[in-house]
Amino acid sequence: VRPYVMVTPNETRRKQLQQKTCPVAKKELEDLERWKEEHRPGPITLVPQRLGGKESEAQARQKQQTMLMQSKYQRKRKREEYAKEKKAAEEAEILKKKAIQREKAERLEVKKKQQEIQRRETFLEDQIYKTNELLNRLDMGLPKSDSCQTANPGPESAAWTRSHAYRQALQEDENRRLEEMKQEQRRKAELVEFKQKQEEEART
């Protein structure tokens, strides 16, 4: 706190100022009272008339009660409409989320099926390669046939013929299974594309 100096009031000067201002203030108060008396409003005179319209008190109260009930019903109906709109919006949002999740699940299912088909194709190719390699080793172990052996086939020639026929049948079967899997995948892809188009049209 900074230092300060207190000046004691001059009592004589103070009394002189009060004596000078007192008559002025008193005169102003008297003038104000005089002005109030001169401008005091007179008595109010109104023509007697009947208020309240043509309805009786009971009818007015009944009408007021009816309006109050109607306002309550209107507020209740507005609350119900707001709740319905909110619920419909929430259901629409839920359906939208479900549709998105369904699309994701379908795409994931298609991806899994494609991966499974690719894995099977790889497995079949590897199986065919291993089978052919095994049959080739069996063929290499058999003696080569000449004209005499062709005319009079022995047990080795018959075994080679059976192995060759088995290899061809196995390869044809694997090719047929591979073609069937490709056709099935093609049909599924077309079905998924058709369903996606239908859902897109329905959303539009």
Summarised one tens digit per residue, pLDDT across range 76-107 is 999 999 999 999 999 999 999 998 998 898 88
Q: Tell me, what's the pLDDT at 151?
A: 45
Average pLDDT over residues 103-115: 89
Q: Tell me, what's the pLDDT at 88?
A: 92
- CA dihedral of 25, 29, 32, 34, whole degrees rounded to 10: -130
27 or 22: whose pLDDT is higher? 27
Q: d(Cα 195, Cα 108) in Å, to the nearest integer?
A: 15
pTM recorded for the entire structure:
0.33
Q: d(Cα 51, Cα 54) in Å, to the nearest integer?
A: 9
Instruction: Assess whether pLDDT exceeds 50 at residue 42.
Output: yes
- Residue environment code for 79-111, b if the CB has 16+ CB neighbours within 10 A, otherwise e: eeeeeeeeeeeeeeeeeeeeeeeeeeeeeeebe
Q: Percent of the chain beyond pLDDT 70?
A: 84
Residue 132 contacts residue 167 (beta carbons within 8 Å): yes
Q: d(Cα 184, Cα 177) in Å, to the nearest integer?
A: 10
Q: Tell me, what's the pLDDT at 157?
A: 58
Q: d(Cα 72, Cα 79) in Å, to the nearest integer?
A: 11
pLDDT in tens, 53-71: 677 788 888 888 899 989 9
**Phi/psi at 164 (nearest 5 deg)?**
-65, -40
Instruction: Assess whether pLDDT exceeds 60 at residue 153.
Output: no
Residue 124 contacts residue 174 (beta carbons within 8 Å): yes
Q: Tell me, what's the pLDDT at 128?
A: 80
Residue 196 contacts residue 109 (beta carbons within 8 Å): no
Instruction: Assess whether pLDDT exceeds 80 at residue 49.
Output: no
Average pLDDT, the chain: 80
Residue 41's SS3 state is coil
